[in-house]
C-alpha cells in the first residue's frame, strides 16, 4: 500500500511539473516587437497591467505566439460599471482583426437584476456577432456570472477550450458561468486582449496553457 501511495505522489509531482513547464506567459517587455504583438484600433499603456484605451469600434492586442488550439487561457480583467461603455474580454483562434472568437464581459450588468443574464458573452466574428446570436439563439451564448464580481474590480477568468466545447469560469469557481459549443470549424489561431465599442480595459497575469 505504501508503495502504491508513493507512486501516486510521484506521478502527481511529475504531472504538476509538466503543467508548470507547459505554461506560456507572454513577455510584456517585448510589446513593441511586431513579430510577437499586433495592436489594432487602440492606444496601449503598460505599467503593472496592460491598458487599452476607449474609442469607437472594437480593439485588440494580439499575441502571435503561441498559436493556440485547445487548452486553457487565464487572466485578470477589469472594466467599469458604466452601461454601454465597458465590454472587456479575451479573443482566441484569431486570424486577423476581423476573424476570431472571443469571450467578453459586460461589468455594468453584473449586479443589474434585469440584465445580469447578459454578463458574459461568446462571439465568433465575422459570422456571429452578439446581436445575431441574441436574435437567433436567445440566452444560449450569454449568461449571468456566479459568483457575481464587483463591476469595478479585477476578476479572474479561466477559459477552457476543448473543441468544440468552451467553458468559462470566473474567480476560480468550480462551476462554469458559460458553456457553449463553438460555431466554426477553425481550431487554432492567435490569443488577444479584446475591448468593444467605446470601451477601455485593463488586463494582467495572462497565462496560456496548451492542452
pLDDT tens string 174-189: 999 999 999 999 999 9
pLDDT at 4: 37
* Contact (Cβ atoms closer than 8 angstroms) between residue 149 and residue 160: no
Q: What is the pLDDT averaged over residues 88-112?
A: 98
Q: State the DSSP code for 122.
A: E
Residue 15: pLDDT over 80: no
Could you give phi then psi for residue 166, rounded to 5 degrees?
-120, 130
Domain count, the chain: 1
Q: Which residues pair with 141 in a beta bridge?
A: none
pTM of the predicted model over 0.85: yes
CATH value at residue 146? 2.60.120.560
- Nearest Cα residue to 187 out of 158, 164, 155, 204: 164
Q: pLDDT tens, 143-163?
A: 999 999 999 999 999 999 999
* Grid cell of 201 as nine digits: 480595459
Query: Residue 92 is part of which domain span?
Result: 2-210
Q: How far apart are CA 72 and CA 211, in angstroms?
A: 7
- C-beta of residue 158 within 8 angstroms of C-beta of residue 103: no
The residues, any chain, with a CB within 8 Å of residue 149's CB and separated by 6 or more, are 107, 110, 155, 170, 171
Residue 111: which pLDDT band, with cuts at 50, 70 and 90?
very high
Mean pLDDT of the chain: 91
- Residue 19 above 90 pLDDT? no
205: cell is 497575469
User: What is the per-residue pLDDT across 26-47, written as a single tens digit (0 to 9) for each?
Assistant: 888 888 888 899 999 999 999 8
Q: Which helix (H) or strand (E) holds 15?
A: helix 2-22
The confidence band for 131, taking pLDDT boundaries of 50, 70 and 90, is very high
Amino acid at each position: 500500500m505504501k508503495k502504491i501511495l508513493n507512486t501516486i505522489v510521484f506521478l502527481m509531482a511529475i504531472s504538476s511539473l509538466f503543467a508548470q513547464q507547459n505554461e506560456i506567459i507572454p513577455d510584456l517587455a517585448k510589446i513593441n516587437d511586431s513579430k510577437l504583438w499586433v495592436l489594432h484600433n487602440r492606444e496601449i499603456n503598460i505599467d503593472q497591467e496592460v491598458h487599452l484605451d476607449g474609442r469607437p469600434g472594437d480593439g485588440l492586442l494580439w499575441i502571435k505566439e503561441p498559436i493556440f488550439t485547445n487548452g486553457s487561457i487565464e487572466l485578470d480583467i477589469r472594466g467599469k460599471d458604466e452601461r454601454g461603455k465597458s465590454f472587456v474580454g479575451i479573443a482566441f483562434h484569431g486570424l486577423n482583426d476581423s476573424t476570431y472568437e472571443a469571450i467578453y464581459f459586460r461589468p455594468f450588468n453584473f449586479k443589474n437584476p434585469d440584465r445580469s443574464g447578459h454578463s458574459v458573452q461568446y462571439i465568433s466574428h465575422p459570422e456571429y456577432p452578439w446581436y445575431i446570436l441574441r436574435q437567433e439563439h436567445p440566452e444560449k451564448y450569454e449568461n449571468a456570472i456566479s459568483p457575481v464580481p464587483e463591476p469595478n474590480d479585477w476578476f479572474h477568468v479561466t477559459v477552457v477550450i476543448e473543441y468544440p466545447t468552451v467553458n468559462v469560469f470566473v474567480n476560480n469557481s468550480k462551476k462554469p458561468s458559460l458553456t457553449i459549443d463553438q460555431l466554426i470549424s477553425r481550431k487554432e489561431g492567435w490569443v488577444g486582449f479584446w475591448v468593444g465599442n467605446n470601451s477601455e480595459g485593463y488586463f494582467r497575469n495572462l497565462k496560456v496553457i496548451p492542452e
